[in-house]
Amino acid sequence: MFKTVAACVTICASIVAATPMQAADRHTGYYYPAPGAIETYKARTIVIADADRKMRLGFIVGITQNMLSQPYAPRFVIYAKGDDAEKMIIVALEDDFIDTLYRARALLAQLTAISRTTPLLQELGLADFLTFFDLVKLLGFVQITISDGDEFTHQILLE
């Protein structure tokens, strides 16, 4: 009997320990699999005073319009979720595209260049000096999740 109770306690403790992580990110399992790794990036900027949901969505729309204006289909989709559109999600639309940490980082580096062309960041006059992580922190994003939409997910928390 003791082994059964001990096993039950171990299982229950495991469930309780896993619950906060899943509760903190309600998008896991719906938009992407659970992150294999979560990192924290200390941004070199602060959030601008007028950063709000509308501004973050405008930024996403600007990047999306840029991608859709190209003569080829986009290889990924980028969108914002959360009550205040504060969580950026990037998901591959094709196999073998964002399936390793190195490919994810390469895409995030490319997004620095793409984001610098958005009218919003051009107006701010800071686009040429910041990385993609810094730029999205400036707009009030708190998290970036990038996934292949199958097995690979990496998450960056922005401080």
How do beta strands 87-92 and 143-147 pair? parallel
The structural domains of the chain, with segments of one domain joined by +, span 26-158
Cα–Cα separations (whole angstroms), residue 98 to 4, 7, 43, 76, 87:
43, 39, 23, 9, 19
In the chain, which stretches have pLDDT less than 50? 1-23
The residue whose two tokens read 């903190």 is 24
The pLDDT score that the predictor gives to residue 24 is 57
Helices marked H in 43-144: 53-68, 101-115, 119-124, 132-138
Task: Give the C-alpha separation, 152 to 128, whole Å.
Answer: 30
The pLDDT score that the predictor gives to residue 129 is 75
The pLDDT score that the predictor gives to residue 10 is 37
